[in-house]
Amino acid sequence: MFNFKVHGQPLGLVTIFIAALSSVGGMVFGYDIGMISDMLLMRDFLERFSDIQEGCDANGMNCETYEFSRVREGLIVGLLSIGTFGGALLGAPLADFLGRRWAMTIECIVVSIGFLVQITTFEVWQQFAVGRLIAGLGVGALSAAVPMYMSECVVASFRGTAVACYQLAITFGMLLAYCFCYGTRQLDSDASWRIIVGLGYALTFTLGFQVESPRWLMKNDRTDDARNALERIRGIKTDYDRAVVEHDYREIETNINMERENDAPFWQSWIECFVGSPGSKKLAYRTFLGMMMQSLQQLTGANYFFYYGATIFQSVGIEDSYITQIIMGVVNFVCVFFSLYVLEHYGRRRPLYIGGLWQIVSESNCILLTAIKIWLLIFASVGVCRPPSEYEGMGDLMIVSACLFIASYATTWGPACWIVTGETFPTRTRARQASLATASNWTWNFLISFFSPFITGDIGFAYGYIFAGCNLFASVFVFFFLYETAGLSLENVDIMYSTKGLTAWASEKWVPPGYNSRRDVMEANKMDIYGNPENIEHSDNVDHSDKRFESDENSQASGHREYTSKKESA
């Protein structure tokens, strides 16, 4: 069986398959976002659905000008986000009841129904908008389920890369939409946009071939299936691999048994997400953390460009705004590859709080830029102080500023927020908390998509100043509130958040008791501690009372001495 190791942990072919195929859910997400930006400019689409038409003939046809009102444009774009909000909340009970795999399959079918409603629309713009609403239900549920599923299945050392593949797929889906729209834009018929919607079907029939989450199987008392799924995912080849898998299996089993002791009715488990529970430390804290992180991802301003990029750059005098969208899509896609390295080697915290500030540049063309000079401020300041309609070359500068902003977003905030959502919450409430976090993302997604035409109509490019302020706030928030989860199993993440006295800014140095560093947690030291594969000790055969979570120096020193003693005896 195909197998290789990452930091000493077995990584099977099925793990790679999970990361690649699950990411198709992100591709559906990105494709649905990307296609509407360019479709709003297509002649046939405007003729059928726009409500401002000037210079028409006696029959009301062949008009010189077609435009959408702010309300209609906002609804056509924004109803997708309303659907995704509902889908994100419904995705939790569906994923818990049916399992992660079957839930994702059903959600893809819902997206397909939404595409069908859109593609069969002829004259009624409301039908097209409702089609986007239905597709949004599936997309929203997928956006909650896929990162959670991937985080539950892959090893800690590969988890960041695997979940970042979800963001990579989102950007690839957007790039595909931009390229397809460029290819059909010259078609003088409804095929220009129907082909674009129809091509989305190719992305919606792939998630039913996945392995079920071992943690979900264990939680539902299918222990043999859970062990088999874990072995398939890890790609067992040697006794060492089997020993490591046995350790992971027992760690999952112990954690779920602990959670069952504090299990609650369905309705109460939702309330616990907001008020906390004695059995899960900082539960409410983590709920609000996830919701804030997903909200701030939208408030970076990225979707302002993704939804309205073609319209924005057409307004600054760019001759072919379709090409501009493709350039931004390529930047977005390529920079996510860089994020795969950054988020595994530098953790989650530093890329996020630096990413909020990194859109830095040393030059500006407006005296307003005196302190924090970031790319969003460049974009806004050029548009306000040196309008492209009056100053030649300013439109090109705005494109460069937008692309450099997108580059920083794709490297940090784009993928990192989905990683944080997938690995922050305990197993018992993970689906519900992930749904709440994702619903927050889609709430702001709708607000930005719907109100952007109104805001830009009133303040123009000064809109960028609002997003620049949000980026500054996001960096401060991450520094003070987000814990570093890189290199830890999901069970150890729960222990870290439960550690008394541990602050977010000190969490990068935290390691589970008995280890010198997080690398030790992932490497072959497991074998030093647990002995021969035939006689494995269970890592969680320790006191699970509150004393386990004490973080004072004596407790850490005792754990280190125990670790050293076992290593020497082995």
| Segment 442-466, tens digit of pLDDT | 899 888 888 888 887 787 777 778 8
| Gap between the Cα atoms of 436 and 90, Å rounded | 10
- Same-domain check for residues 130 and 254: no
Taking a C-beta distance cutoff of 8 angstroms, is the pair 423, 429 a contact? no
Q: Is residue 512 part of a domain?
A: no
| Segment 501-526, tens digit of pLDDT | 899 989 988 988 877 777 666 553 34
Q: Is residue 78 part of a domain?
A: yes
Residues 198-205 have a mean pLDDT of 82
By mean pLDDT, which of 296-300, 302-306, 307-311 is the weakest?
307-311
- Same-domain check for residues 341 and 194: yes
R_g of the chain, CA atoms, integer Å: 25
| Gap between the Cα atoms of 507 and 497, Å rounded | 9
What is the crossing angle of helices 394-411 and 302-315, to 10°? 160
With b for 16 or more beta-carbon neighbours within 10 A and e for fewer, the 127-153 pattern comes to ebbbbbbbbbbbbbbbbbbbbbbbbbb
By mean pLDDT, which of 135-144, 405-414, 523-532, 539-548 is the weakest?
539-548
Q: Is residue 242 part of a domain?
A: yes
The DSSP bridge partners found for residue 190 are none
Instruction: Say yes or no to pLDDT of 248 above 50.
Output: yes
Instruction: Say yes or no to pLDDT of 3 above 80.
Output: no
By mean pLDDT, which of 29-43, 229-243, 284-298, 337-351 is the weakest?
229-243
- Same-domain check for residues 25 and 121: yes
CATH number for the domain spanning 386: value is: 1.20.1250.20
Q: By residue range, what is the domain housing residue 229?
A: 218-258
Cα dist from 493 to 292, 420, 471, 518, whole Å: 19, 11, 26, 12
Taking a C-beta distance cutoff of 8 angstroms, is the pair 518, 156 a contact? no
SS3 279: coil
| Gap between the Cα atoms of 355 and 408, Å rounded | 6
Phi, psi of 280 (to 5 degrees): -130, 110
The total number of structural domains that make up the chain: 2
Cα dist from 137 to 134, 443, 463, whole Å: 5, 13, 29
Where are the strands (E) in 325-372, listed by range? none
Q: Which residues, at least 6 apart from 20, have a Cβ–Cβ distance to it below 8 Å?
A: 165
- Same-domain check for residues 154 and 242: no
| Gap between the Cα atoms of 451 and 459, Å rounded | 12
Taking a C-beta distance cutoff of 8 angstroms, is the pair 119, 127 a contact? no
Q: Is residue 569 part of a domain?
A: no
Taking a C-beta distance cutoff of 8 angstroms, is the pair 555, 513 a contact? yes
The predicted pLDDT at position 455 comes to: 83
- Same-domain check for residues 430 and 328: yes
Cα dist from 459 to 450, 462, 464, 564, whole Å: 16, 6, 10, 64
Where are the strands (E) in 104-262, listed by range? none
Q: Which residues, at least 6 apart from 337, have a Cβ–Cβ distance to it below 8 Å?
A: 168
Q: What's the full length of the chain, in residues? A: 570
- Same-domain check for residues 205 and 222: no
Residue keyed to tokens 């819902």 = 110
- Same-domain check for residues 244 and 301: no
| Segment 48-97, tens digit of pLDDT | 998 888 888 777 777 888 888 888 988 898 888 889 888 888 877 788 88
Q: What share of the chain is helix, strand, coil (3-state, %, to 5)?
A: 75, 5, 25
Picking from 455, 481, 507, the residue at the C-terminal end of a domain is 481
Element spanning 490, H or E: helix 490-498
Q: Is residue 363 part of a domain?
A: yes
Instruction: Say yes or no to pLDDT of 364 above 60.
Output: no
Q: Is residue 160 part of a domain?
A: yes
- Same-domain check for residues 88 and 234: no
What is the crossing angle of helices 463-481 and 430-459, to 10°? 150
- Report the amino acid identity of residue 208: G
- Same-domain check for residues 229 and 197: no
- Same-domain check for residues 151 and 172: yes
Q: Is residue 58 part of a domain?
A: yes
- Same-domain check for residues 143 and 161: yes
Quickly state the pLDDT bin for 5 (edges 50, 70, 90).
Answer: low
Better pLDDT: 66 or 3: 66
Picking from 465, 481, 497, the residue at the C-terminal end of a domain is 481
| Gap between the Cα atoms of 425 and 411, Å rounded | 23
| Gap between the Cα atoms of 307 and 130, Å rounded | 18
Q: Is residue 523 part of a domain?
A: no
Picking from 481, 507, 522, the residue at the C-terminal end of a domain is 481
| Gap between the Cα atoms of 258 and 219, Å rounded | 11
- Report the amino acid identity of residue 90: L
SS3 5: strand
SS3 531: coil
Instruction: Say yes or no to pLDDT of 173 above 70.
Output: yes
| Gap between the Cα atoms of 42 and 322, Å rounded | 11
| Gap between the Cα atoms of 48 and 46, Å rounded | 5
Better pLDDT: 468 or 242: 468
Q: Which of 8, 340, 29 is nearest to 162 (CA)?
A: 340
| Gap between the Cα atoms of 469 and 226, Å rounded | 46
3-class secondary structure for 429-486? HHHHHHHHHHHHHHHHHHHHHHHHHHHHHHHHHHHHHHHHHHHHHHHHHHHHHCCCCC
What is the crossing angle of helices 394-411 and 413-423, to 10°? 20
| Gap between the Cα atoms of 560 and 530, Å rounded | 15
The predicted pLDDT at position 266 comes to: 63
- Same-domain check for residues 252 and 375: no
